[in-house]
Amino acid sequence: MEGILAKDIVVIDDNYTAQVKQDYLVAGERMNEVITEYVSILKGVVNEGGLSGKTAQKLGQFADLAEALLKDTMLNWSTQLASQMEQYVAEIDTADMEIY
């Protein structure tokens, strides 16, 4: 049986932090590419598919809205996550210096 003061200690080193940061950024870039391709396909269906009338108009509006709302959103989120992770690690490092 463990004593009252026994604790689990988790150590996260700089290599792990750097790798997770890079993973966030790569995931954001990849999602941005997927969204760009999705919008491109939607616009292609309207422009090259020979559609006309209200269906074409609504699909074109949807493509424009999707582009306006989603373009660079995941990239921005992943950049913010990477930044927040770095800030958290810096705060923990500062707290550790004060303790030790």
DSSP for residue 50? T
Q: What is the pLDDT of residue 24?
A: 86
Q: What is the pLDDT of residue 13?
A: 67
Residue 45's φ and ψ, nearest 5 degrees, are -60, -40
CB atoms within 10 A of CB 78: 21
Helix (H, G, I), strand (E, B) or coil at 20: helix
CA distances to 8, 15, 79, 83, 86 from 90, rounded to whole Å, are 21, 14, 17, 11, 6
Per-residue pLDDT of the chain (100 residues; tens, 9 = 90+): 455 555 666 566 667 777 888 888 898 899 889 999 989 988 888 888 777 788 888 888 998 998 888 888 888 888 888 888 888 878 877 887 776 6
Work out the burial of residue 89: count CB atoms within 10 Å of its CB; fewer than 13 is exposed, 13-18 middle, 19 or more buried: middle
